[in-house]
Amino acid sequence: MSAMFDEKYLKRIEQRRKEWETGTLKRSLDRFGVTESPNKFYTPLDIREFDFLEKVGFPGEYPFTAGVYPCQVPGSGPVTGGYHIGGGGGLIRAGRYLGYGTAEDTRDYYQSEIIRGRPGGPNIAFDLPTQIGLDSDDPLAQGEVGKTGVAFDTLADFETIYEPFQGKNNLDKIASNWTINAPASVILAAYIALAEQRGIPLSALRGTLQNDILKEYVARGTYIFPPRQSLRMTRDIIVYCSQHMPLLNPISISGYHMREAGASSVQTLAFTLSNAIAYVQLGVDAGLDVDSFIHRFTFNTLSGSMEVLKEICVRRASRRMWAKIVRDRFGSKNPRSWLLREAGGFLQGAWTATSQRPLNNLTRAVIGGVAGALAGYIPSVEPPYDEPLGLGWSVEGQQLAEDAARIIQYEAKLTEVTDPLAGSYYIEALTDQIEKEAWDLIKKIDDMGGSVGAIENGYMQRAVAQSAYEYQKRLETGEEIVVGVNAFTGEHEIEVLPNRMVPYPYDPAKRAQAEERQIAKLAKIRKQRDNHQVKTILSQLQEAARDEKTNLMPLIIEAVKAYATIGEVCGTLKKVFGEYSGYGTI
Amino acid sequence: MEMSKMSKKRRIKVLIAKPGLDGHDRGAKVLTMGLREEGMEVVYTGLRQTPEMIAQATLKEKPDIVALSCLSGAHRHLFPAVVKELRNRGMSDIPVIGGGNIPKEDVPFLLEQGIAHVFEPGASVKDVANYIRNKFERSENP
């Protein structure tokens, strides 16, 4: 019995549909010489059981389908300029993701950003050695220092990076973002040590640690220890933050990387939520009240695809599902805990950007930003069009991305109405279908022992690789069309390549010598610090690591304060936890 | 055991490796599955292989060709290092190819350093399979 549609009326629609299919539509198909229509059409018949209050409700209220917030204040306004990152007036956000070379190089770049009027704390990209807990002078780090982000070895590097953030931009006035996972404890410890140096209380510190180790095994690769031991580190951070850092987001649960690695939309949704369930369980098992920590959980974007209408449905379903998980599965009583707090208002996926005819990526990102606005986010037009060229984001590319987001917001006014697609027969039907398929997949993961079980037995990794492979096959047969890559590539097509006129802020000379400089700096620190103290703390850390119940944060903070290196801390833990290897999963 | 009268065509064996710390292995995994479907035997090493580890794996697996994937920007250092390690172990007859997101400007350098071929973004599984087959089918014919 439908809550909204009269049964007799639905029967009439059914009748009319049949008449349309065998009459008007068939005549048209015959004229074109095809048996099946290339277009679908949805009617109330596709959402017979639709109940607005149950399925959509109101923005900012359970089930949050229309949006997690009652209203959205737009991004930085026309007068103040700066980044078009959602939040508006009073909200404190981190800036654009960046980092390269040594701490000095990155500090100088942040300084230039501040001069350009870009507010927001550092959104730090770290190099691969750092992300894997290796020192810059580790043999395995050779050739990799300062490449994918800034090199971090000791507290001294944070002291340098945060130099431009003083006075009205001091640590209690900004929010940082740290894209760090396996050694997240070390980075958090460094920030804590820095705050204490500056006399800023921990309770005033804002930021987000990515700290999502489970997806590393599936899609990103910067793991160190095996899954269960890694989750102990995650638990320690969640518990420590719930007790001492009420404004810090200890985790950013990421669907993004799995999607970029080829996972389907349903897989991305289900695997992300399964991982989230595992993280909530950590807090619960540690004895925390669910409403004391879940409200600080955040989600990194679920990425997307060029089929943006479907992506809008994924996002609507995701909000509904998280709310149900937190409220029903974990028994949370505070609606604040049920919000799926997510960054990223672009739904086309970064993976859809092509190096061929790169300006088309701006077109793609605009489509993604439009969809983001329609899905209830502050629109974002990311990444800048030159992302796949491997040269870094040109200032011109960033400008175009910013302006595009502003145009979507202020000219097209696409955020004027919240969830304007609510009630669409297609959108509601697809949202429900995606939700159902995701629940089925979550159940399958549950039966394997949750995300940890599904990662230990390789299921998640293989599932994502299989989806990636199937996409590749469709690309190669032409079933999937990518303009300028496997279609419309004739000689008469024009390549439009704009010049990069503004000097790129990442100085290539500095980047090339970064490894040398960092290694020299590290050698100096190793000489100047109290090595006896470092050794003592590290051996205490090794001992404490053996007791699963001990929270390692206090010792890690002490080690970092004594200028122990990230490699030394992680190396100590490796002795107890061992190392993960993915050999043979595919 | 019955012996086929027709000449037995041995399957081409490929070792796909991820040198360095780069964790982007969508391409490597897709290629692993794709080349298997093309009838080749493929071993995928997983992430975080040092040039030495790749050379050891090559010794152990005895592939016809080694394929390296890197998307972290460290290819200029890592790809030649693998070539060197193979040479040092007397395996300079095994061709090494590479791919990932290698910028066009770096291709000549890599070829100079002993990489047999660099596949640029947009290359298909078929492109790689055909290249490999062309390289080996010639030497298979008596």
DSSP labels for A250-302?
Answer: -EEEESHHHHHTT--HHHHHHHHHHHHHHHHHHHHHTT--GGGTGGGEEEE--
Class of residue A39 by CB neighbours under 10 A (exposed 0-12, middle 13-18, buried 19+) = exposed
Q: Which residues sit opposite B49 in a β-bridge?
A: B19
Sheet strands (E) in A365-462: none
- DSSP class of residue A352? G
A221:B50 CB<8 A: no
Q: β-strand A175-178 against A121-124: which pairing, if any?
A: parallel
Query: In Å, what is the CA distance from A531 to each residue of A182, A254, A330, A535?
Result: 25, 38, 46, 6
Rounded average pLDDT over B33-55: 94
Query: In Å, what is the CA distance from B135 to each residue of B95, B125, B138?
Result: 9, 15, 6
Alpha-carbon distance of A329 to A63, in angstroms, equals 14
A469:B72 CB<8 A: no
Who among A147, A220, A465 is closest to B72 (CB)? A147
- DSSP class of residue A503? P
Q: Does residue B3 carry a pLDDT above 70?
A: no
Alpha-carbon distance of A56 to A38, in angstroms, equals 30
The predicted structure's pLDDT at residue A118: 73
Name the residue with higher pLDDT: B73 or B117.
B117
The predicted structure's pLDDT at residue A115: 85
Alpha helices for A482-565 (secondary structure H): 508-528, 531-545, 553-561
- Three-class SS of residue B16? strand
The predicted structure's pLDDT at residue A578: 98
- Tokens linked to B29: 């995994």
- Which residues in chain A are closer than 8 Å to B20, comparing Cβ atoms? 128, 143-144
Name the class of domain A55-477.
Answer: alpha beta
Who among A142, A147, A581 is closest to B46 (CB)? A581
Q: Does residue B79 carry a pLDDT above 50?
A: yes
The predicted structure's pLDDT at residue B7: 46
The predicted structure's pLDDT at residue A271: 98
Domain ranges of chain B: 13-140
Name the residue with higher pLDDT: B81 or A582.
B81
Q: How many C-beta neighbours within 10 Å does residue A334 have?
A: 14
Rg (CA), chain B: 15
Q: Is A487 on the interface with B (CB under 8 A)?
A: no
Q: Does residue A509 carry a pLDDT above 90?
A: no
Q: What is the band of A448 on the pLDDT scale with cuts at 50, 70, 90? A: very high
Architecture in CATH for domain B13-140:
3-Layer(aba) Sandwich (3.40)
Alpha-carbon distance of A244 to B67, in angstroms, equals 49
- How many cross-chain Cβ pairs, A to B, lie less than 8 Å apart? 96
A221:B77 CB<8 A: no
Q: Does residue A577 carry a pLDDT above 70?
A: yes
Q: Does residue A120 carry a pLDDT above 80?
A: no
Q: Is A356 on the interface with B (CB under 8 A)?
A: yes
Q: What is the band of A586 on the pLDDT scale with cuts at 50, 70, 90? A: confident
- DSSP class of residue A325? I
Q: What is the band of A178 on the pLDDT scale with cuts at 50, 70, 90? A: very high
Q: What is the band of A582 on the pLDDT scale with cuts at 50, 70, 90? A: confident
Q: What is the pLDDT of chain A when averaged over all its residues?
A: 93
Closest CA to A185 of A541, A586, A581, A580: A541
Who among A148, A391, A468 is closest to B29 (CB)? A468
The predicted structure's pLDDT at residue A94: 76
The predicted structure's pLDDT at residue A119: 66
Residues A217-275 have pLDDT tens digits of: 999 999 999 999 999 999 999 999 999 999 999 999 999 999 999 999 999 999 999 99
Q: Does residue B141 carry a pLDDT above 70?
A: no
The predicted structure's pLDDT at residue A2: 61
Residues A385-410 have pLDDT tens digits of: 999 887 778 889 989 999 999 999 99
- CA distance, residue B142 to nearest chain A CA (Å): 33
Who among A222, A262, A391 is closest to B23 (CB)? A222
Name the residue with higher pLDDT: A116 or A289.
A289
The predicted structure's pLDDT at residue B139: 54
Domain ranges of chain A: 7-45, 55-477
Which residue in A130, A355, A472, A475 has the most chain B C-beta atoms within 10 A of its own C-beta, making it the best mutation to test that interface? Answer: A472
The predicted structure's pLDDT at residue A90: 53
Alpha-carbon distance of A70 to A570, in angstroms, equals 43
The predicted structure's pLDDT at residue A67: 94
Who among B25, B103, B122 is closest to A390 (CB)? B103
Class of residue A204 by CB neighbours under 10 A (exposed 0-12, middle 13-18, buried 19+) = middle
A221:B44 CB<8 A: no
- Tokens linked to A279: 């993280």
Q: Does residue A77 carry a pLDDT above 70?
A: no
Residues B5-30 have pLDDT tens digits of: 444 568 999 999 999 998 999 999 99
Q: Does residue B1 carry a pLDDT above 60?
A: no
Rounded average pLDDT over A147-167: 96
CA triple B138-B139-B142, angle to 5 deg: 95
Q: Is A315 on the interface with B (CB under 8 A)?
A: no
Rounded average pLDDT over B52-64: 96
The predicted structure's pLDDT at residue A311: 97
Q: Which residues sit opposite B98 in a β-bridge?
A: B68, B118
Q: What is the predicted ipTM? A: 0.84
Rounded average pLDDT over A430-443: 98
3-state secondary structure A187-241: HHHHHHHHHHHCCCCHHHCEEEECCCCHHHHHHHCCCCCCHHHHHHHHHHHHHHH
- DSSP class of residue B70? E
